[in-house]
Amino acid sequence: MSIKNSVVVGIGKGGSCKTTLATQLAGIWSSEGKKILLADLDMQASATKVVGLDPNQHGDGRHLMDAIMYGDDIATVKARDNLDIIVAGRHTKTLSNHLVTAQSPAEAFAVPFEKLNAIARYDRIIFDLPPSGSSRLADMAMQTGQYLLVPTSSGVDNIEGLRVLAGELEQLNSDILLLGVVMMKIGAGASRKRLETQQQVTEILAGVADPFQTVIREAGAAYDDSRKANLFLHEYAEWASTVSISNQIRGRIKIPGNLKDLAREFYELADEVDDRIALAEQLLTGETAA
Ligand SMILES: Nc1ncnc2c1ncn2[C@@H]1O[C@H](COP(=O)(O)OP(=O)(O)O)[C@@H](O)[C@H]1O
Ligand SMILES: [Mg+2]
């Protein structure tokens, strides 16, 4: 049973940019008028923090636990216009442990989401997964999601990591449709190195997954600044565009030079993901019509 229009962002160890990808896409899509639900499934609650919420003040993961374990309606928290989030936290770990011992079927996870979606009617539900192999909750989301989006930052420094990823993708034990792999944190400076990386990734993933054309550049300072401001990148870039030249020249406010490029890449990626989802939908409706 898969939930229509749901996108799982997952597969990969901690720091592979799952949360970065899930949250920035959620931010862009919601700003464009799509109604989005972001489900934070990691007890680290990174996605919750990226949207600017303190997990402690919003149930610490209790909402999803109560829904799956006790059949309550899922409580969501509004993070922006058009953007609701299911907050994670320490109870997410309790839930994850419970799911292992109770040997709950994947439906136990899917049903509360379907109930919620029947009322709220989201255009898209995004699941932000914990690191691979670490939780039953992640497995259940993989059984429940319609589409899978996989970030990789291993192209540059770690081809071995990429081979592991390719192996994991090949062994996917689910009907989930792989939309593609997103290359992230790739140096933008040397264009030959960039091209080489792109070729390597494409080669290793050949027959397993299609990398997206858009590559998200390495821009740690710009990303960190947006985090410090508790804003999505596109919001932070918008704010930065209002800072007066004199303040910038005098150095009162420092705007990283690559902020705009980074924000633009996420917009381009969001469009590309939209296109692949639209194409997949066409193929799926074609199939049912035939
Ligand atoms: N464009 C970027 N360039 C460099 N570093 C980045 C960029 N985007 C995100 N990061 C950093 O990479 C890390 C990714 O973390 P996160 O998205 O939480 O990974 P995961 O959810 O897979 O554990 C964070 O430390 C973040 O600051
Ligand atoms: Mg994460």
User: In Å, what is the CA distance from 136 to each residue of 97, 100, 130, 131, 267?
Assistant: 8, 6, 10, 11, 32
Region of residue 89 (left: phi > 0; alpha: psi -120 to 50; beta: else): left
Domain ranges, residue 58: 6-219
Q: Could you read off the pLDDT of 213-256 as tens digits, one per residue?
A: 999 999 999 999 999 999 999 999 999 999 988 888 888 889 99
Tens of pLDDT along 128-172?
Answer: 999 987 688 999 999 999 999 999 986 656 778 888 888 888 888
Kindly report the protein residue whose alpha carbon is nearest to atom 10 of ligand 1. 220
In a domain, 260, yes or no: yes
Is pLDDT at 76 greater than 80 in this prediction? Answer: yes
Residue 262 lies in a domain: yes
What is the total count of domains within the chain?
2
* Ligand 1 atom 16, closest CA: 17
Q: Do residue 206 and residue 241 come from a single domain?
A: no
Q: Is the pLDDT of residue 208 over 90?
A: no
* Ligand 1 pocket residues where CB is under 6 Å: 12, 14-20, 46, 185, 216-220, 223-224, 262
Q: How far apart are the C-alpha atoms of 103 and 113, rounded to whole Å?
A: 19
* Last residue within a domain, chosen from 202, 219, 236: 219
Asked if 211 and 254 sit in the same domain, the reply is no
CATH number at residue 70: 3.40.50.300
234 & 278 share domain: yes
Rounded Cα gap, residues 38 and 22, in angstroms: 8
Domain end marker among 188, 219, 250: 219
Q: Ligand 1 pocket check: which of 11, 18, 20, 21 to mutate, most ligand atoms within 8 Å of Cβ?
A: 20
Residues 17 and 80 in one domain: yes
Evaluate whether residue 1 is within a structural domain.
no
- pLDDT at residue 290 tops 80: no
pLDDT digits (tens, 9 = 90+) for 14-57: 889 999 999 999 999 999 999 999 999 999 999 999 999 999 99
Q: How confident is the model over 180-191, as a mean pLDDT?
A: 86
Q: Give the residue from 219, 249, 268 where a domain finishes.
A: 219
Residues 6+ apart with CB under 8 A from 252: none
Q: In DSSP terms, which residues pair with 217 in a beta bridge?
A: 186
Residues 22 and 165 in one domain: yes
Q: What is the pLDDT of residue 229?
A: 95
202 plus 287 within the same structural domain: no
pLDDT tens for 79-110 read: 999 999 999 999 999 999 999 888 888 899 99
Do 133 and 33 fall into the same domain? Answer: yes
